[in-house]
């Protein structure tokens, strides 16, 4: 993998007022998140993005929301809004993001800056031909089947727009089942407790 997006700590890539106008071509090169998880399990969500154009992307951003009205109504990137009326705090997390994440691949420092929109993470400028890979560390805290949608853009102000070479908005989704069932375990000859492999 090439670039570590500007400075290692991420960044905003300038103010929204200074954002250049235009279309910036990017490609999602890698996307992974386990489709089967358990309550309390911690998993890594990985996204790789490459600048396939000839202009520097001014401010690469990644936004998340859980598909459906409850996810769209939530202010949490990895949560839903409880539809029950009169709740003081209707937002309910499905996954909890670990402190100091997201990070850039191979770095121990935070790599994505939070923005005024809690669902959007900013990674700063991305030069032509460069690729970055970001990692989110998420712990499942709510059982169910969810589709987590992600979108890539080129800035925060709306003037810089990310597109694929085919002219569509870059992004995708992960469909994940979070189970509340405890794993089956066994004790090995050495006294270690391990999960029983399926099919064993």
Could you state, in order of their start, the residue ranges of all structural domains in the chain?
22-195
Neighbours of 98 (CB within 10 A): 14
> Tokens 């994440």 label which residue?
101
**Whether residue 76 has a cis bond before it, omega within 30° of 0:** no
For residue 69, give every residue at least 6 positions away whose Cβ sits within 8 Å of its Cβ, in sequence order, or none: none
pLDDT of res. 54: 96
Query: How is residue 158 written in tokens?
Result: 């709306």
Written as one string, the DSSP assignment of 80-138 is: EE---TT-S--EEESEEEPTT-SEETT-SSB-SEE-SSTTEEEB--B-TT-EEEEEEEE
How much is the pLDDT for 23? 96
- Taking phi over 0 as left and psi of -120 to 50 as alpha, with beta for the rest, 70 belongs to alpha
Residue 92: what pLDDT?
Answer: 94
Look at the block and give the residue holding tokens 């469909």.
175
Q: What is the pLDDT of residue 8?
A: 35
* pLDDT for position 15: 56
Q: How far is CA 141 from CA 36, 107, 120, 138, 146, in A?
A: 14, 26, 21, 9, 12
Grouping H, G, I as helix, E, B as strand and the rest as coil, residue 187 is: strand
How many other C-beta atoms can be found within 10 angstroms of the C-beta atom of residue 149? Answer: 17
In this predicted structure, what is the pLDDT of residue 197? 63
Burial code of 30-65, b = ≥16 C-beta within 10 A, e = fewer? eeebbeebbeebebebebbbbbbbeebbbbbbbbbb
- The predicted pLDDT at position 104 comes to 86
Assign domain 22-195 to its CATH architecture.
Answer: Sandwich (2.60)
| Residues of the chain predicted below pLDDT 70 | 1-17, 112, 183-187, 190-200
| pLDDT at residue 194 in the model | 62
Residue 97 near residue 136, CB atoms below 8 Å? yes
The per-residue pLDDT for 36 is: 96
8 A C-beta contact, residue 98 and residue 43: no
């Amino acid at each position: 993998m090439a670039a570590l997006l500007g400075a290692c700590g991420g960044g905003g890539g300038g103010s929204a007022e200074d954002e250049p106008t235009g279309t910036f071509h990017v490609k999602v090169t890698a996307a992974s998140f386990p489709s089967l998880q358990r309550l309390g399990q911690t998993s890594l969500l990985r996204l790789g993005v490459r600048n396939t154009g000839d202009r520097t992307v001014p401010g690469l951003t990644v936004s998340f929301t859980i598909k459906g009205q409850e996810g769209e109504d939530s202010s949490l990137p990895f949560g839903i809004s409880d539809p029950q009326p009169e709740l003081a705090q209707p937002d309910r997390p499905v996954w909890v993001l670990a402190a100091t994440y997201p990070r850039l691949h191979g770095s121990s420092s935070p790599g994505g800056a939070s923005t005024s929109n809690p669902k959007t993470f900013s990674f700063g400028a991305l030069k032509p031909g460069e690729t970055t890979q970001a990692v989110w560390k998420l712990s499942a805290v709510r059982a169910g089947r969810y589709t987590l949608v992600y979108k890539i853009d080129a800035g925060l102000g709306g003037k810089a727009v990310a597109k694929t070479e085919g002219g569509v908005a870059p992004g995708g989704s992960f469909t994940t089942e979070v189970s509340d069932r405890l794993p089956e375990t066994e004790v090995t000859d050495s006294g270690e407790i391990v999960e029983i492999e399926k099919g064993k």
